[in-house]
Amino acid sequence: MPGRYATDTLPPARPTLPRPPAGRYPRRAVVGTLVGLTVALLCLVAVPLALLDSDEGEARADSRGFVVEYGKAGRGEGADRRLLEGAGVLEKATDRLNKRLVLPSTIRVTARSCPDAAAHYDLEKSRIEICYSFVAEVRELFERSVRDAEGAEGTERVRAKTLGVLTETVYHEAAHALIDKLGLPFTGREEDAADQFAAYHLIPQGRHGRAALLAAAENFALYAEDTDPADVDFGGEHSPDAVRAAAYYTYLYGSDPKRHARLVDDGLVGEERAEVAEGEYRALRRGWRVLLAPHLRQG
């Protein structure tokens, strides 16, 4: 894409200065050199510290791979920033990915204030953006759902479900970043491939990973309930929310039919789909293993 990779230019060659004989540096020159180096180091340290209060966010690291940072919260967004940052959702997911994959460059994962409630991968900036307003939207959706079912006692359930959706979101958006940076081939909708990547990583993580995927499926189902069928865009880049929810339920069931038998009993996975669910999940696992194999860390 034009403008993504700037051509580096070399600085002009530095003039060669005459080198004094060994052992001929006077004490004053040595002290001056040490002072100069100390000042330079302090300046280098001050740069990242200054970034902590910048509008671009609070950088946690600066290396190849996924790097988490937090931007300033807007009015009324402080609680949602604290929820996201306090739980360490972004850090936990990106740490797992960084430990497993070798990436060619930095991919920033930035939580920030945005005009719209969204989470997406910015191709031009090589940055995943998680908006605080998106955190609020997910939380409020679960608050309405849990309140209807359980009254005011569901605060912890709302928190857990919200964090589960945010965890799934990080993996989903990370898939877009990997497809971009690693040139991964895929078929069908890229958004469907990204959903499969999230399932690929979350299901093997055990109880918490499965709970995150269930929360994401429920979130899609709630969005689908709030959407007029006439407004569903079957030709959009995303599959309809109801389809995405059904896919996640199917992957979960296919990963362990005995453990997740209730998904069929509750009608969340149809009987015909249940018959092929194990094969779907095996194909998902095999496909992503092959795609990622050249980029795995050794040892």
pLDDT digits (tens, 9 = 90+) for 151-175: 556 788 999 999 999 999 999 999 9
- The H or E element containing residue 12 is none
Q: Is the pLDDT of residue 189 over 70?
A: yes
pLDDT the model gives residue 145? 85
* Range from 87-96, 189-198, 229-238, 265-274 carrying the lowest mean pLDDT: 229-238
Q: Is the pLDDT of residue 55 over 70?
A: no
Average pLDDT over residues 21-28: 38
pLDDT the model gives residue 159? 94
What would the two tokens of residue 31 be? 């002290």
Q: Go through the chain and tell me how many residues it has.
A: 299
Report pTM: 0.77
Distance (Å, rounded) from C-alpha 117 to C-alpha 104? 30
Instruction: Give the chain's mean pLDDT.
Output: 81
Average pLDDT over residues 204-212: 97
pLDDT the model gives residue 236? 61
User: Left, alpha or beta for 45 (phi > 0: left; psi -120 to 50: alpha)?
Assistant: alpha
pLDDT the model gives residue 237? 64
* Range from 232-236, 238-242, 292-296 carrying the lowest mean pLDDT: 232-236
Average pLDDT over residues 2-19: 36
